[in-house]
Structure 1
Amino acid sequence: MPALSRRNAAVAALAALAITVQAPSQAWAGWTDQTDGKQAKGGKNGRTITVQTKVRTTVNGDAKSAATGNLSSADSNWTPPACWYEPAFSPKEIEKTVKAWRGFGDGVPLFEGVGEFVGDYLDSRYKEGKPYKNYNLDKQGRGMFWAAAVNPNRKDDPEASACDKQPFWVDEGETPDEPLAVTPRILAEYAYDELPVPETEIRMAPEGETKVNLPTWAWLDKAKFKPVSVTASIPGSGLSATTTAKPVALTIDPGTPDAETYPASGECPLDGDKIGRPRAKGTPADTEPPCGVRYLRSSGKGGAYQLKATLTWQIRWTSSDGDGGPLPEGVYGASQDVVVREVQAVNR
C-alpha cells in the first residue's frame, strides 16, 4: 500500500474516532459494572472518543406504556444538556481499548496498518507520558478516565460537539475542573428531557360536535394529568437527581380567529387538583364555562377546526447532595378536531 494512501486512510481512521465505546466500568469509589443506559451515537467533531452513557432513568407516576410525549422548554433560550463528561474507563480499559484499535484494518485493502497508526496516536497520550504514563495502571482502583457522553435525545444538536476532549483522568473523590462534568444538576436537566407527559387531549361538552355561538366546556381528566417524576442516576456513584413536572395551566387555541375563549386569555389555570370542569347536568346551554371556547362560525360541511390544547408544566428538581430548585417550565400540546355546526331553527 503506498505511503500516501496509508496516511490518508490513517487520517480517515482518526476522524472515525467519534465512536461509541461500550466500556464496563471497574470499581471506583463504589462504581459498579452497569452499562445499559441509552445509546449515545458519538461526538459531532469527528475526533473525540465518546461513550454510551451510564445514566439510568426511573419513571414514577404515569406508566411508560401510556401515550406520552416529551416536554419542550417554555424558555427558548434554554435546552437540556446535549453532552457531558462522565466516568467511563478504568486504566485497564483504556489499555484494552488501545490494543483493540491496533487490530483495526487488518486484512482490509486501503486500511492495512491503519490500526497501528491509531494505536500509536493513542499510546502517545495514554502510555508514553503525554500526558499519561502506562495508562495510569499504577492508579487502578483509585480513579477513572472520564469521557464525553452525548445525550441520546440531542445527538443531532450542534451543542453535542461541545464535549470535544479526549478521556481525561480524575482521581477518586476529586471533582473535575470541567464545566461539563456530570453533576446532580446535569442529571436533573437530563431527566427533564426524559419526562414522559401524557398526550394533551382535553374532554369537551358537548362531545362530538358543538354549535355556533354556544359555549363548549373543556377540562382535563385529573386522574391522568398528575405530577410525574424522573430520577436520573449513575449506578454506584451516589449521584442522582429527581426532576418533577406538575401541570399548572392549560392554554386553548381554537384553531380559528372566529372564536372566543374562556377565560379571554385562553389560559385555564389549575384549580385545586383540576383544570376546567365538566358541565353539570341541567346547566343552561348558554352558561359560560370556567374553561372552554365559543365558536362564532361553523366549520363548514365535512370540515373541522384544529383546536390545540397546550399544557404548561412547572418543573422542579432535588438531588442526592441536597441541591435543587426550579427549571424552566415545560410545554406540551396536541391538536384535535372540533366540528362546529349552525344551530338549526325549527319553523312552525
Structure 2
Amino acid sequence: MRRACVRVPVAAALALPLALAPTVAQAGGKAGDGSSLGDAKGGRQGQNITVRTKVRTTVAGGSGTGRTGSLSSADGNWTPPACWYEPAFSPKEIQSTVKTWRGIGDLPLIGGIGDLVGDMLDARYKDGKPYKDYNLDKQGEGMFWAAAVNPNRKDDPEASSCDKPPFWVNNGQTPDEPLAVSPKVLAEYAYDELPIPGTEVTTAPAGETKVNLPTWVWLDKARFKKVSVTASLPGTGLSATTTAEPKSLHLDPGTPDARTTPASGDCPINADGGIGAPYEPGRANDTPPCGVTYLRSGAYPLRATVTWQITWTSTTDPGGTLPPGTFGATQNVTVQEIQSINR
C-alpha cells in the first residue's frame, strides 16, 4: 500500500506537541511575583500555529477602580503589533518535539503521519537544511525564535503575518527581522495592557437638566492620573515601560442643539490634575469651565472621551512617544423645558 503524502506546516508540527504538554503559565494567570503572564495558549491564527508568549507585564499606578478599558489609537494608521518573534525553543526542545511526533505515529486515525512529520522536521532541523543535528552543539549558545501572538489581538488578521518557521538566533544577537521582539515591540505591547479607567463623568445637575441651563461636567483627579505598564521578556534583558497620562476630555453632547464649554468641546487638564470643576451651590447660572448647555428638550447620549499621552522608556533603548490613545463612555442625559406659570 502506498503511503499518502501529507503536508504539515513546520510551525504546526513544532507547536502541537508543546500545546499538548503541561505549561507553567496559563492564559490570564499570574506569575509567582503577582505579575500577569502573556497568552499561554498555543493556538491557530488563520493557518499559522504560534507558541506561548513568555512576555510578562506589571502595572504601576492605576485608576483605583476595577472599571477599566483599552485605549484606541488616535492614529488610525497605527495599532500595537498583533504578533512578533521571540526566543521559544532550545535545541533539545526541537529534538524532543521530533521524538514526540514519531511516538504518536501508531495512534488510531493518525497512521503514518507522525513519521511523515518527523521526517519533515528532521529535514529542516537535523539534516542540514538549514540546521544540523538540531544545533545540539550550540545548546546554551542561543535559541530558536518563533512567532507569538499579542493575546489582545489574536483575532486581528495581522496576527497571521508572523508566518516564518522557527529560526536560530545566537545569544546577544538581534535577528534581521522587523517583527523580532525588541524594547519598542514590548512598549507597543504594553500599550494594549494599560488599565485605563472608565470615563463616566460627573454632571450637575445629575442625569436630568433644563433647557438653556449650563450642565457642569468634571472628572475626579484621584482617578485620572498616570499609569504605567512594564513588559519584559525573562532571560533576555529586554524590557520597556509604557506610561499613559491624561491630557484632555472631549465632550460630544449627542445633538447639534447644544453648546459646549469650551466651544471646541475639549476640556484641558487642570494644574491639580483634575478636569473641569465640581459644581458648587449658587453657581447654577455661571459658565462652567467644562460643560454643555442643551437648547432643546429630549434625551441625549452625552459622550465623554479622554485623550491620553503615551511615552515609553527602556534601559537599553532611548525610548520615545507612541500615538495618543483615547477611551470614552456614553451616558444618557434628560433635558426638560423650564415650566413657567403666568398669572
Shift of 1:61: 1.5
The answer for unaligned runs of 5 or more in structure 2 is 25-32
SS at match of 1:192: helix
Q: 2-side partners of 1:64 and 1:114: how far apart?
A: 53
Equivalent in the alignment of 2:112 = 113
Residue 39 of structure 1 is matched in structure 2 by 40
| Secondary structure in structure 2 of the residue aligned to 1:51 | coil
2:62: which partner in 1? 62
Pairing 1:216–2:215 present: yes
Q: What is residue 94 of structure 1 aligned with on the other side?
A: 94
In structure 2, C-alpha distance between the alignment counterparts of 1:79 and 1:279, rounded to whole Å: 38
Q: Where do residues 150-169 of structure 1 align in structure 2 (5 Å cutoff)? A: 150-169=149-168
- Is there any run of 5+ residues in structure 1 with no aligned partner, and where? 26-33
Which amino acid is 1:292 matched to?
A: G
User: Conserved in 2, the CA contact under 8 Å of 1:18 and 1:45?
Assistant: no
* 1:1-348 matched pairs, under 5 angstroms: 3=2, 6-7=4-5, 10-11=6-7, 17=13, 19=15, 21=18, 36-39=37-40, 41-42=42-43, 44=45, 46=47, 48-62=48-62, 66-104=66-104, 106-109=106-109, 111-272=110-271, 273-283=273-283, 285-299=284-298, 304-348=299-343
Question: What secondary structure sits across from 1:11 in the alignment?
Answer: coil
- 1:312 and 1:40, CA in 2 relative to 1: closer, same or farther beyond 3 A? farther
With over 3 angstroms needed to count, the CA separation of the structure-2 counterparts of 1:82 and 1:43, relative to structure 1, is farther
- Once the two structures are TM-superposed, the CA of residue 38 in structure 1 deviates from its matched residue by 1.7
In the alignment of these two chains, the number of paired residues is 330
In the aligned structure 1, how far is the partner of 2:65 from the partner of 2:260? 33
The amino acid that maps onto 2:128 is G
* Deviation for aligned residue 1:37: 2.6
Q: Structure 1 pair 230/265, CA: closer, same or farther in 2 (3 Å)?
A: same
Tell me the CA shift for residue 254 of structure 1. 0.6
Contact 2:10 2:165 in 1 (8 A): no
Deviations 1:253-294 (A, max 9, x none): 1111111111111111112111111122221x2211111100
The CA distance in 2 between the partners of 1:12 and 1:234, in whole Å, is 30
Distance 1:287 1:41, change over 3 A: farther
* TM-aligned CA deviation for residue 208 of structure 1: 2.8
How far does residue 201 in structure 1 lie from its aligned partner after superposition? Answer: 0.5
The CA distance in 2 between the partners of 1:73 and 1:89, in whole Å, is 33
Change (3 A) 1:130 1:116: same
Q: How many angstroms does 1:122 deviate by? A: 0.6
SS at match of 2:7: helix
Instruction: Measure how far apart 1:102 and its partner are.
Output: 2.0
Cα distance, 1:219 vs structure 2: 0.5
Distance 1:92-1:331 versus aligned 2 partners, 3 A rule: same
Take 2:264 and 2:323, find their aligned partners in 1: how far apart are those partners? 21
Letter in 1 for 2:247: V
Question: Would you say the 8 A contact 2:207–2:334 is kept in 1?
Answer: yes
* Amino acid aligned to 1:286: N
Once residues 338 and 97 of structure 1 are traced to their aligned partners in structure 2, the CA distance between those partners, rounded to angstroms, is: 60
Distance 1:214 1:3, change over 3 A: farther
SS in 1 for 2:325: strand
CA 1:286–1:175 in structure 2 vs 1: closer, same or farther (change >3 Å)?
same
Q: Does the Cα contact within 8 Å between 1:229 and 1:245 map onto a contact in 2?
A: yes
Q: SS where residue 190 of structure 1 aligns?
A: helix
Aligned AA (1:51): V
1:108 CA displacement = 2.1
Match of 1:96, SS state, is helix
Displacement of 1:60 after TM fit?
1.2
Residues in 2 aligned to 1:194 and 1:99: alpha-carbon distance in whole angstroms: 38
Q: Scaled by the length of structure 1, what TM-score is found?
A: 0.88
Identity %: 64
SS of aligned partner of 1:226: coil
Task: Give the letter aligned to residue 246 of structure 1.
Answer: E
Per-residue CA deviation, residues 165-211 of structure 1 (Å, 9 max, x unaligned), is: 11111111111111111000000000001111001110011113111
Question: Do 1:49 and 1:167's aligned partners in 2 also have CA atoms closer than 8 Å?
Answer: no
Contact 2:90 2:144 in 1 (8 A): yes
Instruction: State the AA in 2 paired with 1:11.
Output: R
> Does the C-alpha gap of structure 1 residues 104 and 347 become closer, same or farther in structure 2, counting only changes over 3 Å?
farther
SS where residue 76 of structure 2 aligns? coil
